[in-house]
Amino acid sequence: MADQNHQHGRRPHFHRGRRGPDRRGNDRRHAPPQQEQPPARDHVDVEQIMREIRSRISQRHGIDLTTQQIQELAARRLEAILDPRTVKPSLLEQLRRSAGNPIEPRPEDPSLSYTFEATTLYETPHGFLRFMRRLLHPILKLFFNPNPLIQALNTQTRINQALLARDAERERRQTEWNALHYDILQRLVTEISRTSLEAQGLSMRVESLAAKVDFNERRVRGMENTLHQSRPASRPVEPASAPALAAPVTREGAPSEATAGDTGREGSSEGGRRRRRRRRGRRPQLGTPLEGATPAQGIDQAGPLAMGEVDTEPELDDEDDEMPGGEPGGEALLDGPASESDEPPAPTPPEVEPDYTLDPFAATPSVDAVHSPSTTSDPPAGASSEQPQDATGSPQSTETPDSGTSS
Amino acid sequence: MKIAIVVQRYGADINGGAELHARYIAEHLAAHGDVRVLTTCARDYITWRNEWPAGEEIVNGIAVERFPVARERDLIDFRERSAIAFNHRHSVEDELRWLESQGPYSPALVARLREAANEFDFLVLFSIRYDHSYRGARIAPNKAVLVPTAEREASLGMAVFPPVFRGVRAIMYNSFEEQSLIHAVSANEHVPGAVVGIGSEIPDTVHAERARHAFGLHNPFLVYVGRIDTNKGCADLFRDFVEYVDRSGRVLDLVLIGSAVLPIPSHPRIRHLGFLNDADKFDVIGAAELLVMPSPYESLSMVALEAWALEKPVLASGRCDVLVGQCLRSNGGLYYMNAGEFGAILDRLLSDPHMSAALGRCGKEYYQQNYSWPVIEGKYLSMFERLRKEPPTHAMETLPGWWARRRRNAPPAEAVVAGLPAGPAAMPQAARKQAALT
C-alpha cells in the first residue's frame, strides 16, 4: 500500500504530520543507507570505462592511431609526394594497378608471329592454282633462286618470335618491378608517417619534460629565495628567548615551520612527501595539526615553534596528501614564496595566515598542473569533492597519465 | 521424456569444453527425464583412439553407451583435406570426406542413432563439426536438438552445414554471437532456437586464503585457466604481461592453471600450477584479482562465467567477439586489443578496487540471471515442451545426388567465414526482459 502511495506521488500515511526527531533528525538530510540501493552501487558501464581508458591511452601517447588510420594517412602523403605537376599523373594509378592486379600476358599480335616455311610462297586456298604453281616451280627456279629469300624470311619469323618473347618477359619483369616499387614506396611512406607521428609524440614529450625541468628550476629558485630571506629573520629567534617562543609563525617562518612539520612527521610513514595547503572554512575545529601524529604528539615533537604553527594555522588541511606530486596547486606553490618574500619579516597576527606553507620535500607537480590556470588560485573549500568520479561513483584515480606505466 | 545426449567423448574426467558441457546438461536434465548418453570409446581428441571399452556403463548416475571408433585420425590426411576444403574451391564430397577424416568416425554410433530416432523423444547433438552430429541430424531431423558450439573458424564455412542448421528441429546456442554467425551463414531464423550456454558447479564458498597458502601465492595475481596454447592466445598473454610488469614495476603475478602445450617463459612473475581439481581451481580464482582470458576463439568461455560467478572481473581479448559481447552484456569485464590497452586496463582495475568489485558483482548478477542451473534447465525444458506441442514446420534438405556432390562448386570455407558479420552481438530486447524477469 505504501508503494502504491509512492507511485501516486503521495506521502505515506505514517509520515504525515510528523514533527519530531523522525523528521528533523539526522536521517532526514542524509541519503538512505547504502544497502537499500544495491543497484546504484553496482552500476558500471563497460563501454564507458573502455572509452575512458582508451582516451587516457591516447592522451598519454599524444596521438594514438590505428594501423589502418596510419595507412590512410600514408596514402594521402603518397598522393602529396607524387605531385601531379612533377610526376606523370597516370604513374601512381599505373603503379597501383600493377601492384594490385596479377600480371596478365599481353595478347600476341598475329601479324608478328607468323611462320614462314619453304612452301609458304606457293600456298593458296585454291587447289588448281596451287597445283599450277607447283608444276611451274622448276621453271621459276630457272629465273632466280628463291631459297635464300625463304631462309631469310624464315629467320625473320624466328627473330620476331624471340623478340616477342623477350618483350613479354621484359614487360612481366617491369610489372613485377613496378609492383615491388609501389609496395616499397607505400611501406616507406607508411613508415615515414609512423615515424613522424612518433617523432611528434616524442617532441611533445620532450616539451613536457622541458617544462617540468623549467618548473623544477623555478621552484628550486623560489625555495632558495625563501631560505635566503628567512634566515636573517630566524637567526634572532634561534636563542630560546621568551619573545621568540611567544611569537606566532610568520610567513617568512615557512622554513622553520617546515622544519617543525618535518619533526612532527617523523612518526608518519609518508610525512616527508606531504604538501599542505590552506583551506578556508573547512574545519570547524583544530583538527590534526601534523600528519601522522595526534595534536598532542605533534605539539610535543615540534616544540614551541610548532605550537605556534598549530595555533596560527588552524585551517591547514591534509586533504592534499591524497594527491602526490603533480597535482593542482603546483604553481601556487611556486608563486607563493616569491610573493611572500616581498613582505616584511615581521610577526604576523594569527588571523592573517600565510597563503601557503611550503614543504621542501613536496613532489614535483605535473606540467599540466603548472600550465593549468585553475591551479594558480587557491581552490575553493569544496574543491576536493570535485574530483572526477567514475561510473562506480568512486573517485577516479588522480594519478597523472604517466604514472604507473610511464616509460 | 526420453532424451539422448550425443557427444564425441564422455567421461567424468574429460574437461574439454563441449564434452563437459554435454556432461553437465545430461546430469541436470536427468532430474527431469530419462537421459542416456551415446558416445564413442575415445578419450583423446587428437587421435580418437578407442580407450574405453565398448558397451554400457554408468557415469555419475547417467547411462552411457559407448561405440568404437572405426579408425584413428590420420593427421596428414586431415591436414590435406582441410587445406582443400578451407582454401580451395571444392565439392560437397570433399567436405564429407573431411568430416570422416576429422573423426571420430564411428559407423556403430551412427547405426545406433538410426535406432535411437524411434526410441527417444529428442536427440541432443553436440558440436556440429563432428561426424556424429552431422549424420545424427540428418538421420532424425525432427528430433534433433543441436548444440552447435560453433566458433568463427573455417569449418563453419563449409557447404554441408547450412542445410543442417536449417533442418534440425531446434538449436541451443551458446551465445548471441554464435547465433548471429549461424543465422548469417545459413539463414535459419525460422528454426526454433534459444541462447542457453552452460552453467557450472560453483561451490558455495571458496577458500582464497587456503589457496594462497597452499600454492604460495603471496602477491596479487591474475589467473588464467585453460589449456596453455598459442591458439588460446597464451603467447600474446605472456608477451603482454611480461612487458607490463617490466615496464610498470608493479608487484603482480600471472598464475596459470591447466596443461601446457606451449613452453611457458621462465619469468619470476609467471607461475604455472598445472592441472588442478575443481576445488583448488575455484579457490585460486577466488584469490585472484581478476581472470584473464586471452583466447581469440571462444564460443562461450565457461571459465569466464565461473569467474563471474565468484564475483571476479574478467580481462578478455578484444579479438573474440563472444567475450567482448559477454563483457558488454554483463558489465562484468573489460577487453583489450593490444599490449597498451592490456597495461592500461590492468592499471585501472588494480588501482580502483571499487570498480573491480562492481564489475565482479555485475558479472555475478549476469551469471545468476543467465547461467545459473535453474535458468539453463528451464530453457531446455521449455524448448522441449514447445517442440512437443508444435509440429515440425520445416524439413531437412536432401543431400545432392552422386554427380552433384562431386561438382567443385563449393567456395573455400575460409572465404565464407571471412565474409560473415563480425563484432559483439547485442542482446535482443526479449531476451533482456526474460533475463530481468528471471
A300: nearest Cα among A263, A331, A271: A263
- Which chain B residues are closer than 8 Å to A404 by Cβ? 248, 250, 347, 351
Chains A, B: CB contacts within 8 A come to 68
Residues B401, B298, single domain; the answer is no
Counting Cβ atoms within 10 Å, is residue A322 exposed (0-12), middle (13-18) or buried (19+)? Answer: exposed
Task: Please list every residue in chain A whose beta carbon sits closer than 8 Å to the beta carbon of residue B362.
Answer: 42, 44
Tracing cell 558440436 back to the chain, one arrives at B127
Q: Do B348 and A53 lie within an 8 Å CB cutoff?
A: yes
Report whether B268 contacts B367 (CB < 8 A).
no
Residues shown for chain A: 407
Distances (CA, A) of B392 to A301, B125, B168, B192: 88, 18, 9, 10
Write down how long chain B is. 438
- Which residues in chain A come in under a pLDDT of 70? 1-42, 59-71, 73, 76-113, 230-407
Specify the pLDDT at position A113. Answer: 66
Please report which helix (H) or strand (E) contains residue A277, including its range: strand A277-278
Residue B3: what pLDDT? 95
| Domain of B298, in residue numbers | 208-370
Give the minimum alpha-carbon distance from A399 to chain B in angstroms, rounded to a whole number. Answer: 10
Best mutation target among B315, B326, B352, B366 (most A Cβ atoms within 10 Å) is: B352
- Does B68 lie in the same domain as B95? yes
Q: Which of B331, B332, B351 sits opposite A397 (nearest CB)?
A: B351
A57/B341 touch (CB, cutoff 8 Å), yes or no: yes
**In a shared domain, residues B244 and B289:** yes
| Closest approach of B157 to chain A, Cα-based (Å) | 27
Residues of B in contact with A64 (CB under 8 A): 340
* Domain boundary pick from B312, B335, B370: B370
The Cα A270–Cα A265 span in angstroms is 8
Residues in A 56-95 with any Cβ partner in B closer than 8 A = 56-57, 60-61, 64
Residues B149 and B29 in one domain: yes
Are B381 and B402 in the same domain?
yes
Sites in chain B below the pLDDT cut of 50: none
| pLDDT score, position A243 | 42
Closest partner CB to A405 (pick from B247, B358, B361): B247
Task: Give the residue from A45, A392, A396, A403 with the most B CB atoms within 10 Å of its CB, the best one to mutate.
Answer: A392
Residue A404's pLDDT is 33
B56 and B174, same domain (yes or no):
yes
Q: How far is B298 from chain A (nearest CA, A)?
A: 20
**With contacts defined as CB-CB under 8 Å, which chain B residues touch A63?**
none
For B336, phi then psi, to 5°, come to: -130, 150
pLDDT at B161: 96
Counted domains in chain B: 2
Question: Which residues lie below 8 Å from residue B242, measured CB to CB, with a gap of 6+?
Answer: B265, B267, B269, B270
Cβ within 8 Å, pair A53-B334: yes
- The residue out of B351, B370, B389 marking a domain boundary is B370
Instruction: Give the nearest partner residue to A57 out of B248, B344, B361, using CB atoms.
Output: B344
Same domain, residue pair B366 and B246: yes
Query: Which tens digit of pLDDT belongs to each residue from B137-173?
Result: 999 999 999 999 998 889 999 999 999 999 999 999 9
Both B318 and B384 in a single domain? no
Same domain for B226 and B182, yes or no, is no
- What global pTM score does this model have? 0.55
B contact test, residue of A49, A54, A68 with most B CBs within 10 A = A49
Any idea what the Cα angle at residue B292 is, between residues B291 and B293, rounded to 5°? 120
What is the pLDDT, as a whole number, of residue B194? 93
Using the 3D structure, point to which of B349, B370, B391 is the last residue of a domain. B370
The domain spanning residue B125 has which CATH number? 3.40.50.2000
From A50, A60, A392, residue closest to B355, measured CB to CB = A392
Same domain, B274 and B400: no
> In angstroms, what separates the C-alpha of A179 from chain B's closest C-alpha?
25
DSSP state at residue A102: P
Instruction: Let me know whether B87 and B188 are in one domain.
Output: yes
Is B150 in the same domain as B224? no
Could you give phi then psi for residue A394, rounded to 5 degrees?
Answer: -90, 150
